[in-house]
Amino acid sequence: MTRLVSLVALGLAACGSSNNKQSDAAKQSDAAAQSVTSVTCPASPAATITTADGVNAYSPTTATIQQGQVVKFVMASTHNVAPTPSNSDKGLSIGFGQTGCLMFTRTGTFDFECTAHGFTGSVTVQ
């Protein structure tokens, strides 16, 4: 009986360590996939996108930058920036009424939206 309990405990310990390895691998994969990161705003960002209370649009609605450049987002209290469902990069996020700068480290088009009002914008990285 003691041997059976020891084998069961050993089996459970092995399962627990296996799950942790998968979890760590998934975290590393998510980090590698993220290509938009929050940074300290430089004196001269490559582009600035703003909103205003009572106006349901980003201004401008699109920006084109080079890989590694920074976009400054200035959101009014009623607007935010969130990745659209088709863009899974969680780094593309600025809160309601917040100002923040995001660096884009991969080429492509990054679509975003105001979750409260549904208007959209995009950053194209060349």
Each residue's pLDDT tens digit, 27-54: 444 444 679 999 999 999 999 999 999 9
**Of 88, 87, 59, nearest in space to 74 by CA:** 59
Residues in the chain: 126
What gap in Å lies between CA 120 and CA 114, rounded to an integer? 7
Whether this model's pTM surpasses 0.85: no
Sheet bearing 47-52, strands edge to edge? 36-39, 99-104, 70-74, 47-52, 55-59
In this prediction, residue 33 carries a pLDDT of: 61
What gap in Å lies between CA 109 and CA 90, rounded to an integer? 14
**Of 39, 56, 14, 53, nearest in space to 94 by CA:** 39
pLDDT (tens, 9 = 90+) of the chain, 126 residues, equals: 544 444 444 443 444 444 444 444 444 444 446 799 999 999 999 999 999 999 999 999 999 999 999 999 999 999 999 999 776 688 999 999 999 999 999 999 999 999 999 999 999 999
In this prediction, residue 105 carries a pLDDT of: 96
CATH superfamily of 36-125: Cupredoxins -  blue copper proteins (2.60.40.420)
* Residue at token pair 């705003």: 41
